[in-house]
Amino acid sequence: MNRQQEFVLRTVEERDIRFIRLWFTDILGYLKSVMMSPSELEGAFDEGVGFDGSSVEGFSRISESDTIALPDPSTFQILPFDSATPEIQSARMFCDITTPDGQPSWSDPRQILRRQLTKAADDGFTCMISPEIEFYLIKQNQDLTTLEPTDNGGYFDQATNNIAPRFRREAMMALESMGIATEFSHHETAPGQQEIDLRHADALTMADSIMTFRYLIKQVAVDSGIRATFMPKPFTEHAGSAMHSHISLFEGGTNAFHDPDDEISLSQTAKHFIAGILHHATEISAVTNQWPNSYKRIVFGNEAPTAATWGVSNRSALVRVPTYRLAKEDSRRVEVRSIDSACNPYLAYSVILGAGLKGIREEYELDEPAEDDISQLTRRERRAMGYKDLPSSLDQALRELEKSDFVADILGEHVFEYFLRSKWNEWHSYQEQITPWELRNTLDY
């Protein structure tokens, strides 16, 4: 029994925690939960909690179904509310998934990210991430064909309708109560669209925080009589929801991305990191943007990246280098703008980090920054300027992924094959649909 485990057991007793929720995600990023009573917690720390892995999408075959969820005591947090029974307190811990012999499961997204972080540590780096998470608040309508945003606000608006500001305040309080530090919250560009930015943390902690964020946001929305969605593009006429992620690598206490002698204070390490992301951008697109709807945001969204480019303060580029506080070492970072809010953060950060590290190890050269508004260029113009297009559909993204030994190595053979098979099935199901647009435009032909 280590100190963290002892702390959890003591806190559960002192705070009269009635239920412990053990959390993990499947390969697509859906949150899974096992609830247990406190009396079973000490045994769970020693031996884990067994469950049928074959019943979780992509985890294991029926002949290898015995799977162990091992709670990580460093992730223990008391859940802030349960509106139905506020007097009953619950807590949650994330779990590492293992096989019965104690080996890390190759199907566990958390373990996949941990492997990349170990490789980064072997190179002397710690990865820090700060995401800007966008989402929509919509009214609780049963008819999904007539989605209605909760307000008509725009970018940074102080909405006259008090639902949005009150919601953001309560959401930030819930996040802070669980140790998830927030920096800013504001109304985004579209009606009903919100953004909350999380303060930087190491990549694994941040991926855990994003999963908790999505859970809490939806709970606060339900308690407010509305609905929250992280769907990449729920409205045809409005911008999509991204998860722009600010990333930096540290060597001990030194920011490896900072160079005070460079014009934009960007080190050679950072430039190789950016070049790695751009070089592998098409291969990793199916992981950072995993839904058919993701490409509605990329192709038709405002300031969404359509090509593998980088730029200085250029919000239409895939990788943006912010120019705030150039002389401040800790703030030197790169912003990856392709990721949408509905990704599996463990897998998305694994492939982004893996691509950047490969760029550093192999010293990929970085081209000149893009100064154009990439989103306003035609495909022909982008090609004439030497820009490599990103996939414009999940179909194209999966074709790029299929050819990628690089991503297969990061995800592992089992997850790589399952992800491809699952997403091809999803794409084919999407293609089969007869849409209202087709009926309106073709039925009378």
Task: List the chain domain ranges.
Answer: 3-105, 115-440
Of residues 109, 49, 23, 58, the one with CA closest to residue 419: 58
**pLDDT, position 62:** 38
**pLDDT, position 122:** 97
Do residues 6 and 14 lie in contact, with contact meaning Cβ atoms separated by under 8 Å? no
* Low-confidence residues in the chain, pLDDT < 50: 60-64, 156
Task: In whole angstroms, give the CA distance from residue 82 to residue 445.
Answer: 54
Render pLDDT for 99-121 as a digit per residue (tens, 0 to 9).
Answer: 888 888 888 999 999 999 999 99
Question: In the structure encoding, which two tokens stand for residue 237, read together?
Answer: 């006429």
CA angle 288, 294, 299 (to 5 degrees): 110
Q: Which CATH class is domain 3-105?
A: alpha beta
Question: In the structure encoding, which two tokens stand for residue 178, read together?
Answer: 């669980």
Give burial (CB, 10 Å; 0-12/13-18/19+) of 341: buried
Sign of CA dihedral 7, 9, 14, 15: positive
**pLDDT, position 138:** 92
**pLDDT, position 141:** 76
**One fold for 3-105 and 115-440:** no
What phi-psi label fits residue 375: left (phi over 0), alpha (psi between -120 and 50 degrees) or beta?
alpha
Task: In whole angstroms, give the CA distance from residue 13 to residue 17.
Answer: 7
CA angle 327, 198, 240 (to 5 degrees): 105
Write down the pTM of the prediction.
Answer: 0.93
**pLDDT, position 53:** 58
- Which residue(s) pair with 36 in the sheet? 20
Alpha-carbon separation of residue 12 from 32, 35, 36, 47, 82 (angstroms): 22, 14, 12, 19, 17
**pLDDT, position 341:** 95
Write down the CATH superfamily of domain 115-440. Glutamine synthetase/guanido kinase, catalytic domain (3.30.590.10)
Alpha-carbon separation of residue 213 from 124, 194, 398 (angstroms): 30, 13, 28
**pLDDT, position 166:** 80
**pLDDT, position 143:** 72
